Amino acid sequence: MYLPISSNTHLLARLDAQINVSKPTKKRLWASIVGAKVVAQGRALPPRPEADACRKRLHQMAKDVRSGDTTNIEAQAAAAYWPVVFSCCSGIQQPFRRRAGDRSAAPPNNLLDYGYSALRAALARAIVGAGLLPALGIQHRGRSNPFCLADDLMEPLRPLVDRRVRWLAERHTLELDQAAKAELLGVLTEEVGTENARGPLLVSVSRYVASFVRVLVGEEVRLEIPSSMPETGL
């Protein structure tokens, strides 16, 4: 009852476009998303010489993403990225292993899960507000997952949370207390940019989804994906 479904006047037309989107368009969209995610992962690495080799490798991987990510660059990039992104944090068990949704997993998995949940919720609201079904994704699928499209679109934004979690970990904050939650929710007000605009992530998410809609209906070819600004010393 609280979802903004009735606020969109193009609901049926957009649902039709989403349901009938072609496979080539889906593959092109997914390649754009993966490429942007890998670039963002490179930016999220600590600004230290020991991370430079991984940064360069990720930059090259982003260039190698093919339509539909048939060579699974996303997984290759993750394997290179996760052991390095928190390597400068003395309180984190090394090499760090990402274990999503596992409450027994070592920190900062707890902080990552919380930050990603905030991103997912923001995207789900924007998706519904744009007249789309959040359950109908382009790559993620799941019989019990009502937010597959949100999971698709949030991939390039995850490194924004990773960078903020690294900032907390460098200050020895690994417990998910109220202060840590407030810091992680701050990712939604962080300034990001696209080719045409800059502004808070929460605003840019709506622009991002609007760009996705324009690709679905054939008005545009390229997807405008928000990206992080240079290191700001959160």
56 band by pLDDT with thresholds 50, 70 and 90: very high
Residue 207 is assigned to a structural domain of this protein? yes
What are 17's two structure tokens?
A: 């476009």
How many domains in the chain?
Answer: 1
Separation CA 216–CA 210 (nearest Å): 10
Cβ burial 187-216 (10 Å sphere, 16+ → b, else e): bbebebebeeeeeebbbbbbbbbebbbebb
What pLDDT digit, counting tens, does each position of 123-133 carry?
A: 999 999 898 99
Read off the CATH number of the domain in which 181 is found: 1.20.120.920
Q: What is the pLDDT of residue 9?
A: 61
Residue 224 is assigned to a structural domain of this protein? yes
What are 161's two structure tokens?
A: 């949370």
Residue 1 is assigned to a structural domain of this protein? no
Residue 2 is assigned to a structural domain of this protein? no
DSSP 8-state assignment for residue 101: T
Given a cut of 50, is residue 1 above it in pLDDT? no
pTM of the model: 0.92
What are 208's two structure tokens?
A: 């991002």
Q: What is the pLDDT of residue 4?
A: 55
Residue 143: give the domain boundaries.
Answer: 8-228
For residue 206, give every residue at least 6 positions away whose Cβ sits within 8 Å of its Cβ, in sequence order, or none: 126, 129, 130
Summarize the confidence of residues 209-234 as an average pLDDT: 86
Cβ atoms of 207 and 224 closer than 8 Å: yes
Residue 18 is assigned to a structural domain of this protein? yes
Q: In the chain, what percentage of residues exceed pLDDT 70?
A: 94
The single residue listed with the structure tokens 């609007």 is 210
